[in-house]
Amino acid sequence: MNAKSKLLVSLLAAVILSSAALGGDWPQWRGPGRDDKVADFKAPAAWPKELTQKWKVTVGSGDSSPILAADKIFTAGRINTDEVTLCLDAATGKEIWRDTYAAPAPTGPDKNHPGPRGTPAVADGKLVVLGASGMLTCYDAATGKIIWRKDEFFKLTPPVFGSMSPIVTEGMVVAHLGSPKSGGIFAYDLATGEQKWKWSGEGPGYASPSLLSVEGTKQIVVETEKSIIGLAQADGKLLWQIPFAGTTFNAPSPIVNGTSVIFTAQNRGITAVKIEKQGDTFAPKQLWKNATTATQFNTPVIKDNLLYGLSDKGTFFCLKADTGESVWADTTGRGGNFGVILDAGSVMLALCGNSSMVAFKPGEKFEQVAAIKVAATPTYAHPIITGNSVYVRDADSVILLTIE
- CATH label of the domain that carries residue 45: 2.130.10.10
Statement to judge: residues 176 and 305 lie in one domain: no
| Last residue of one domain, picked from the residues 151, 177, 204 | 204
> Cis omega before residue 300 (within 30°)?
no
Distance between CA atoms of residues 217 and 219, nearest Å: 6
Instruction: Clarify whether residues 305 and 395 are in a common domain.
Output: yes
Based on the fold, state whether residues 75 and 47 are members of the same structural domain: no
Residues 105 and 52 in one domain: no
Structural domain count of the chain:
2
Q: Does 70 lie in the same domain as 183?
A: yes
* pLDDT for res 17: 32
- Does residue 136 share a domain with residue 100? yes
- Assigned domain for 84 exists: yes
| 212 within domain boundaries | no
Question: Residue ranges of the chain with pLDDT lower than 70?
Answer: 1-23, 109, 155-162, 180-181
Same domain, 72 and 52: no
Q: Does any domain span residue 252? A: no
Rounded Cα distance, 333 and 97, in Å: 40
Question: Is the same domain home to 48 and 104?
Answer: no
Q: Where does a domain end: 150, 169, 204?
A: 204
Of the candidates 66, 63, 74, which has an alpha carbon nearest to the alpha carbon of residue 97? 74
57/138 same-domain check: no
Q: Please indicate, yes or no, whether residues 152 and 107 belong to a single structural domain of this protein.
A: yes
pLDDT at 64: 94
Out of 170, 204, 238, a domain closes at 204
Assess whether 190 and 76 both reside in one domain.
yes
Residue 255, in any domain of the structure: no
Reported as half-sphere exposure (CB side, CA atoms, 13 A), residue 291 has a value of 0
Q: Residue 134 sits in a domain of what CATH number?
A: 2.40.128.630
Position 282 in a domain: no
Report the pLDDT value the prediction gives residue 161, as an integer from 0 to 100: 57
pLDDT of residue 162: 66
Answer yes or no: is 140 within a domain: yes
Smallest CA-to-CA distance from 122 within 78, 68, 85, 62 is with 68
Is 102 contained in some domain? Answer: yes
Q: Are residues 328 and 401 in the same domain?
A: yes
The predicted structure's pLDDT at residue 23 = 45
Beta-bridge mates of residue 269: none
Range(s) of the domain holding residue 368? 34-61+298-379+381-404
- Domain membership of residue 24 (yes or no) is no
Would you state the pLDDT for residue 280? 87
Q: What is the pLDDT of residue 192?
A: 98
